[in-house]
Structure 1
Amino acid sequence: MPPTAASPRYEQVTIEDVGTPLAQVTFVVVDLETTGGSPRDSAITEIGAVKIRGGQVLGEFQTLVDPGHEIPPYISVLTGITTAMVSAAPRIGAVLPAFLEFARGAVLVAHNAPFDLGFLKAACAENGVAWPAAASVDTAVLARRLLTRDEVPNCKLATLAPYFSATTSPTHRALDDARATVDVLHGLFERLGPLGVTTLEELSGLTRQIDPERRRKRHLADDVPHGPGVYLFRGPRDEPLYVGTSTDLRTRVRSYFTSGEQRSRITEMVALAQRVDAIPCAHALEAAVRELRLIAEHKPRYNRRSRFPERALWVRLTEEPFPRLSVVRRVRPGAGVFLGPFPDRRAADAAVAAVHEALPLRQCTARLSPRTPVSACALAGMGRCGAPCTGAQSVADYADVAAVFATAVTHDPRPVLAPLLERVDRLAAEERYEDAAVLRDRVAVLVRAVRRRQRLESLAAVPEMVLARPDGAGGWELSVVRLGRLAAAGIAPRGTTVRSVLTDLLATAETVAGADGELTTSVDETELVLRWLEKPGTRLVQLSGTLASPAPGTGAYSGFLARVDTGRDVRDPFADGRSLGTRARPERIASPA
């Protein structure tokens, strides 16, 4: 037996212990050439490996290995590796430590992994080297789970490599085959997105066997067409169970009946499903908008996103002699100044707290009358409020303060944001880092809320616009947007006149009525349209009215938001855990006798 090599220390990593996004996982794709099919009577003749992460090649490893005996002639014919070629190569005991160091901390990938990893494990055991027991991925198994016989006749590497347009062809040489497997792995990963598989932990579910009951429901996808659109799973009482969207309806719906779909709630939904309805759409924007509307209308029990748009929160400047900031759930057009929407109460309270840091708006919730003075609260003594309750501040003077907030929301946020950012810098200079971090995060919430409202309002103020995007086949995807709402969608195929298609679209488009600048549809829908408008390649074909954002708006604070996001990449030890809620009755100072 050869001398025992020093065994490096490894920590066992299993897929169940890892929740890392696939883009952040380091993979080492390995391939071996051997003298036969079993490690019991055969040995390794070549190791090739490629280290990748996030689609980038980080390094390569390749070496011939002396198997210690003659290479059978038929193996030499297959691989091109002869006994003479490996006569001066190192033995496997000398190669293993270098390879294991190259693969340290990575997930091992191989095509038909039991073969390659079986040889490596046997070599480690024979040479007294500890096997790291790293997580592994078998591209052959993945391919069987993700591809159908309609796409490839088998899942051999020689078949998959050209199917995924691999840049290296398999040649039965270790490094070439490893490079080809890298391209196959990336091609398979592209199939994971529609399945919601984004982490290594979720990837492990693809190796599980499919439930026979689920397989028997594949016929539900038989009448679903290809192309973009929305699909609805319906239950025993014809009730909508789940609404989804895809650029290829048939492929997406069929994926629910494969082992690739492992989410427990979706598994339960598929078990209840009795029918799948498909709604073909002109393009992805129409599909996304229809999905939002259907979810809001039916509130399917298995959808989580956008089921209750009415639960969004807004910060409202109340309409009274001495207005205050109030968190509300409904926006009534024309009823005061609003900021938002916010996803939850904590975000809304953070924005309110930031405004109160900059402006002496009252924080009590009682309705005040200029004719009936009351005693002041502690905030007045701290200079945080002008004490309109005592008569110390007139209605006109208080209105000037409230107008600063209204202007910040609709036009120029600088009078509110500038003193807040100066205070953040001052706190940091005084080494009060916790207070600086808390205020910084509140200001970031406020900036994002103002930016969101201004961008949405600018779109909601446009009576009509027509957008066009190339469809990738020489035609155009057309969208008619009125007051921020998608009113019509269509396709002008290659060879047709865009103007004629557009004329028909405009004639049949939905009539949208609403007050100028007020949202006539859900915020989520208007944001979808806005993102579509801002995507590279989108053209503004026709515009009625003006599409503009305030010149002194929030664009100047993009750098600040980027720095905040960068700072949050590392866990913030000063994360604000304090309640931000406004006290209903701040402690009042007793009036002098």
Structure 2
Amino acid sequence: MPEQLTVDLILDDPFAQDLLHTTFVVLDLETTGGSPHDADGITEVGAVKVRGGEELGRFATLVNPGQPIPPFITVLTGITTAMVTPAPKIEAVLPGLLEFLRDAVVVAHNAPYDVGFLKAACARHGYTWPNPRVLDTAALARRVLIRDEVPNRKLGTLAAYLRTEHQPNHRAFDDALATVDVLHALIGRLGSFKVRTLGDAIEFTKAVTPTQRAKRGLADGLPHAPGVYIFRAADDRPLYVGTSGDIATRVRTYFTAAEKRARMSEMIHIANRVEAVVCAHALEAQVRELRLIAAHAPPYNRRSKFPERAWWVRLTDEPFPRLSVVREPGGGRTSLGPFSGRQAAQAAVDACHEALPLRQCTAKLSPRKPSATCALAELGRCPAPCELRVDPGEYGELAADPFATSVTGDPAPVVDRLMARLKVLADAQRFEEAAALRGRLAAFLRAVIRMQRLSAVTRIGELVGARRDAKGGWEIAIVRHGRLAAAITAPVGTHPRISLETARLTAETVRPAVAGPVPCATAEETERILDWLERPETRLVEVSADWASPIGGAARLKPLLARLDAASTTRIVNESP
């Protein structure tokens, strides 16, 4: 590999460093034998910096632990209290040691022990632990050497078996030199396991399944760019769709010990290849992920079982309209939605029936001919249009118009009546009924807030937003009727207007919705777009119409919804919206 290409690769992804070009600091500590959290127990530090088999530097010093060294430690290491008394304390050693560790991979035998002492010492004396990548030669030996070769993975056993130049003797620097020899010997054996990079070596030490290790080549060659990745089976079926700001790095995690989900293990076992779709920026990647899941319903995406399902509450187009739970918003006077499930839609309907005298019978009623009376009319809970006690105009003023007002403007006609009913139930200590009513009110209010938020942007023919990216360029999105029509990134040095006009040439044509706020896209897509647009750093470049919500609309009741979701019934009914 050319040297410049190697440098670029290292800068791009540290875990992709070839082991030959990785700088290691091989470290060993001697201690008083206690816990790293008890006191400053380090008595000696030894470290050797190496790269490509060549030694680059050494660091060695005794350390005054501020306490007597136990006799059994002196017998083991030969370090006495008299030897460490004139030595510097650990707080004086840390600055030089941390500088020696800078930008290197820390290697130690039983690394958690040594690293634990250093992290505790840094925390105790106000130094920031640099959190370097760590490679444990003991863990590496457990993976490389089988039990038939060595009875245990002690440093002395490994050094003897591998016939290293240096042998450990429980002194920090000599043990560090022996660990260097063991590290090089183990790296020499990693090639047969197809472990060639730093990331591979670190993951090789962990509990990775054989399938994950066998399939990790699927991540090779993927781009370090934002976008969507698709795991495909041998017959090219999409198995799983995901998104990331760095496709290559994210896909690689599926083949590491960090991935413990059973369904992902099953998916990896079936997967034959990974396809990458590079996107202009994160928003486009999120939208493409949603569209691919909806189009292909990959079996290992949880939300893909029924991605097309949406439910609406519709006010029917009749002389005496009623509420109907339907799959499409059109064909009625006013619609509320979309709901993710029929149960939530029905809860909102029940809330409206509790607050408004909407008829609940399903019979077709004539404004001129009486029909059979239902039980609700006899109980006085319906204005009885079936008996022509009200004409269509009166019925509209009593029931249909307040519903339409609550959905498209101020939801007070429903909310105020339900809040009053909640107080009555609480005062009567009918807490179970109050809790059920609170749930219905929350379902209604949540849907209205969501719909008004979506409607505000879906009525706009074209909206252009832009925000700075991490490299100083501009992420640009063209949104038409709540749907992402085009996305592009204007790199540093290119005028954003030029990139915007380029995106317009290929932007999707989006026709306005006939009914409802989101038929041009899924609600999830429009909400992802709204989240992006509403960030403080996003600038509105162009808007073809006013982007506004109703005065006194549902958004003002977000605090009430939060209380409905989180507080007890007793607190809710005693607070006004």
Shared fold by TM > 0.5? yes
Matching residue's letter, 1:522: T
Query: Which of 230, 233, 238 pairs up with 1:232?
Result: 230
Q: Give CA-to-partner distance per residue, 1:381-405, whole Å, 9 cap, x none.
A: 3322111112222222222221111
Query: Which of 429, 432, 435 pairs up with 1:431?
Result: 429
The residue aligned with 1:459 is: 457
Matching residue's letter, 2:541: V
The residue aligned with 2:176 is: none
CA RMSD of aligned residues (A): 3.8
Q: Is the 8 A contact 1:47 1:64 kept in 2?
A: no
DSSP-derived class of the 2:302 partner: coil
1:556-567 to 2 correspondence within 5 Å?
556-567=556-567
The residue aligned with 1:534 is: 534
Matching residue's letter, 2:492: R
The residue aligned with 1:344 is: 341
1:169-184 to 2 correspondence within 5 Å?
172=118, 174-176=120-122
DSSP-derived class of the 1:327 partner: strand
1:237 positional shift: 1.1
1:445 positional shift: 1.3
Please give the alpha-carbon distance, in whole angstroms, between the structure 1 residues aligned to 2:444 and 2:544: 31
Please give the alpha-carbon distance, in whole angstroms, between the structure 2 residues aligned to 1:235 and 1:45: 49
Q: Which moves more between the two structures, 70-79 or 315-324?
A: 70-79
Please give the alpha-carbon distance, in whole angstroms, between the structure 2 residues aligned to 1:291 and 1:208: 31
DSSP-derived class of the 1:262 partner: coil
1:319-338 to 2 correspondence within 5 Å?
319-332=317-330, 335-338=332-335
1:130-141 to 2 correspondence within 5 Å?
none
Please give the alpha-carbon distance, in whole angstroms, between the structure 1 residues aligned to 2:488 and 2:209: 40
1:35 positional shift: 4.3
Alignment CA distance shift 1:370-1:496 (3 Å): same
TM-score between both structures, scaled by the size of structure 1: 0.65
DSSP-derived class of the 2:445 partner: helix
Q: Is the 8 A contact 1:206 1:260 kept in 2?
A: no
Query: Which of 310, 313, 316 pairs up with 2:314?
Result: 316
Say which one has the larger Rg: 2
Matching residue's letter, 1:380: A
Q: Give CA-to-partner distance per residue, 1:273-315, whole Å, 9 cap, x none.
A: 1111100001110000001111111111111125533312111
The residue aligned with 1:403 is: 401
Query: Which of 354, 370, 375 pairs up with 1:373?
Result: 370
1:414 positional shift: 1.4
| 1:392 partnered with 2:389 | yes
The residue aligned with 1:9 is: none
Matching residue's letter, 2:544: S
Query: Which of 341, 356, 359 pairs up with 2:356?
Result: 359
Matching residue's letter, 2:444: L
DSSP-derived class of the 1:350 partner: helix
DSSP-derived class of the 1:477 partner: strand
1:489 positional shift: 0.4
DSSP-derived class of the 1:514 partner: coil
Query: Which of 65, 68, 71 pairs up with 1:69?
Result: 71
Q: Is the 8 A contact 2:293 2:307 kept in 1?
A: no
Q: Give CA-to-partner distance per residue, 1:33-90, whole Å, 9 cap, x none.
A: 9746xxxxx55686159xxxxxxxxxxxxx97766537649979899995799xxxxx
The residue aligned with 2:482 is: 484
Q: Is the 8 A contact 1:354 1:443 kept in 2?
A: yes
The residue aligned with 2:211 is: 213
1:524 positional shift: 1.1
Q: Give CA-to-partner distance per residue, 1:207-237, whole Å, 9 cap, x none.
A: 9621223212122111210110001111121
The residue aligned with 1:508 is: 506
The residue aligned with 2:15 is: none
DSSP-derived class of the 1:363 partner: coil
1:238 positional shift: 0.8
DSSP-derived class of the 1:305 partner: helix
Which of 1 and 2 has higher RCO (CA within 8 Å, sep 6+)? 1
Matching residue's letter, 1:287: A
The residue aligned with 1:263 is: 261
DSSP-derived class of the 2:301 partner: coil
Please give the alpha-carbon distance, in whole angstroms, between the structure 2 residues aligned to 1:66 and 1:504: 74
The residue aligned with 1:301 is: 299
DSSP-derived class of the 2:372 partner: coil
The residue aligned with 1:281 is: 279
1:2-17 to 2 correspondence within 5 Å?
none
Matching residue's letter, 1:337: T
Q: Tell me how many residue pairs correspond in the alignment.
A: 432
Matching residue's letter, 2:496: V
Matching residue's letter, 1:47: D
Q: Is the 8 A contact 2:425 2:434 kept in 1?
A: yes
The residue aligned with 2:38 is: 47
Alignment CA distance shift 1:66-1:389 (3 Å): farther
1:534 positional shift: 1.1
Q: Is the 8 A contact 1:240 1:298 kept in 2?
A: yes
Please give the alpha-carbon distance, in whole angstroms, between the structure 1 residues aligned to 2:68 and 2:282: 56
Please give the alpha-carbon distance, in whole angstroms, between the structure 2 residues aligned to 1:410 and 1:320: 19
The residue aligned with 1:468 is: 466
Alignment CA distance shift 1:360-1:276 (3 Å): same
Alignment CA distance shift 1:259-1:75 (3 Å): same
TM-score between both structures, scaled by the size of structure 2: 0.67
Matching residue's letter, 1:348: A
1:180 positional shift: 9.3
Please give the alpha-carbon distance, in whole angstroms, between the structure 1 residues aligned to 2:558 and 2:537: 23
Please give the alpha-carbon distance, in whole angstroms, between the structure 1 residues aligned to 2:478 and 2:36: 64
Alignment CA distance shift 1:68-1:215 (3 Å): closer
| 1:290 partnered with 2:288 | yes
DSSP-derived class of the 2:239 partner: strand
DSSP-derived class of the 1:278 partner: strand
Alignment CA distance shift 1:158-1:212 (3 Å): closer
DSSP-derived class of the 2:308 partner: helix
Matching residue's letter, 1:395: P
Q: Is the 8 A contact 1:310 1:329 kept in 2?
A: no
Please give the alpha-carbon distance, in whole angstroms, between the structure 2 residues aligned to 1:285 and 1:277: 19
DSSP-derived class of the 1:311 partner: coil
The residue aligned with 2:183 is: none
DSSP-derived class of the 1:507 partner: helix
Alignment CA distance shift 1:420-1:46 (3 Å): closer
Matching residue's letter, 2:71: H
Report percent identity of matched pairs.
48
Please give the alpha-carbon distance, in whole angstroms, between the structure 2 residues aligned to 1:441 and 1:554: 17
1:431 positional shift: 3.0
Please give the alpha-carbon distance, in whole angstroms, between the structure 1 residues aligned to 2:271 and 2:236: 9
Unaligned runs of 5+ in 2: 1-28, 41-64, 88-102, 135-202, 572-577
1:173 positional shift: 8.1
Please give the alpha-carbon distance, in whole angstroms, between the structure 1 residues aligned to 2:110 and 2:303: 42
Matching residue's letter, 2:122: D
Please give the alpha-carbon distance, in whole angstroms, between the structure 2 residues aligned to 1:351 and 1:35: 67
1:331 positional shift: 2.8
Q: Is the 8 A contact 2:442 2:565 kept in 1?
A: no
1:436 positional shift: 2.4
Q: Give CA-to-partner distance per residue, 1:464-515, whole Å, 9 cap, x none.
A: 0110111022111100001100000011111211111111112221111124
Q: Is the 8 A contact 1:243 1:294 kept in 2?
A: yes
The residue aligned with 1:523 is: 523
Please give the alpha-carbon distance, in whole angstroms, between the structure 1 residues aligned to 2:133 and 2:392: 67
Please give the alpha-carbon distance, in whole angstroms, between the structure 2 residues aligned to 1:342 and 1:284: 26
DSSP-derived class of the 1:403 partner: helix
Please give the alpha-carbon distance, in whole angstroms, between the structure 2 residues aligned to 1:287 and 1:328: 31
Please give the alpha-carbon distance, in whole angstroms, between the structure 1 residues aligned to 2:80 and 2:460: 68
Q: Which moves more between the two structures, 398-407 or 367-376?
A: 367-376
Alignment CA distance shift 1:559-1:73 (3 Å): same
Please give the alpha-carbon distance, in whole angstroms, between the structure 1 residues aligned to 2:357 and 2:82: 82
